[in-house]
Structure 1
Amino acid sequence: MSIAVQYINITVHDVDAALPFYRDGLGLEVLNDVPAGEHRWLTLGSPEQPDVALVLSDPHAGRSKADGDLVGELLAKGTLLGPIIFRTDDLDSTFEKVRQTGAEVMQEPSDQPWGPRDCAFRDPSGNHVRISQA
């Protein structure tokens, strides 16, 4: 038996507002754009990991009004997710590309005492995103 990660869902306030951060800044490719009434799911991936994709959706996509409202409140507080950690082979270049999207810089590239060199941002919805150099 084997098991692997296939999709990681990231809730954002506005899929269109989050797209430049994930596509232009991080360099992910749009794989699917699935409308669902007033909502949609946007799937992005990297050629480096073709079997893993991120799914961006708003708080109410696929949820009841009450659940979507609660998820939206947690997202607004910045407490919905722990950090999402990406890996790159060129941290400085990636940092500059992400910075150019207007994302909030939490930490510029620096060496960490536990080993990696990394940086941190908040995506347009406030999700904590770290990027480590491989």
Structure 2
Amino acid sequence: MTQATTQGIQVAGIYVRDQDEALAFYTERVGFQVHTDVRNGDYRWLTVRHPDQPDFQLGLFRPGPPLHDEATTQTLQQMVAKGAMPPLVLQVDDCRAACERMRTHGVEFTQEPTERYGTVDAGFRDPSGNGWKVIQARR
């Protein structure tokens, strides 16, 4: 008899230029919470989570050793700085209210809340250039 297994995504990561800066942005401005912050030499495993999603973590990782050589590290850093990475999506109940709350904490929006496709969405970038869409859940 085979035993059933459970699978799922636990951590999805983004590249950031400075982990301390990213940590402050995501916890102080966006409203996430620290999940894990451990170091192994120069490597730092840093994850945050949305307070309503305790089983999912967003990794805030710096390109570089031990995962990347110098050329790859530089390329990734340039791509992040130019906003070339795919946008992330934050689903909220009320896009305008969520954006106003984040704005009061210093988040600068690249796109104000806009009605389209039967919902409301907005956009912002983190300090490393990662793009985010804030999308209101359809009722």
**Do both share a fold (TM > 0.5)?**
yes
Worse-matched range after superposition: 99-108 or 65-74: 99-108
Aligned length in residues: 132
Q: Larger C-alpha radius of gyration, 1 or 2?
A: 2
Indicate if the aligned counterparts of 1:103 and 1:124 stay in contact, CA closer than 8 A.
Answer: no
Q: Does 1:86 align with 2:94?
A: no
User: What SS is found at the alignment partner of 1:50?
Assistant: coil
User: What SS is found at the alignment partner of 2:8?
Assistant: coil
User: What SS is found at the alignment partner of 2:36?
Assistant: strand
Q: Deviations over 1:3-48 (max 9, x none)?
A: 4221110101111111232112221110110223334221111232
Counterparts of 1:57-96 in structure 2 under 5 Å?
A: 57-60=61-64, 62-79=67-84, 81-96=85-100
Q: Deviations over 1:53-89 (max 9, x none)?
A: 100011225322222112112112211x211001112
Q: Identify unmatched segments of 5+ residues in structure 1.
A: none
Indicate if the aligned counterparts of 1:20 and 1:101 stay in contact, CA closer than 8 A.
Answer: no
Percent identity over the alignment is: 38
Structure with greater strand share of residues: 1
1:19 counterpart letter in structure 2: L
Show the counterpart of 1:21. 25
CA RMSD of aligned residues (A): 1.9
Q: What is the TM-score of this pair, normalised by structure 2?
A: 0.82
Shift in CA distance, 84/12, structure 1 to aligned 2, threshold 3 Å:
same
Q: Identify unmatched segments of 5+ residues in structure 2.
A: none
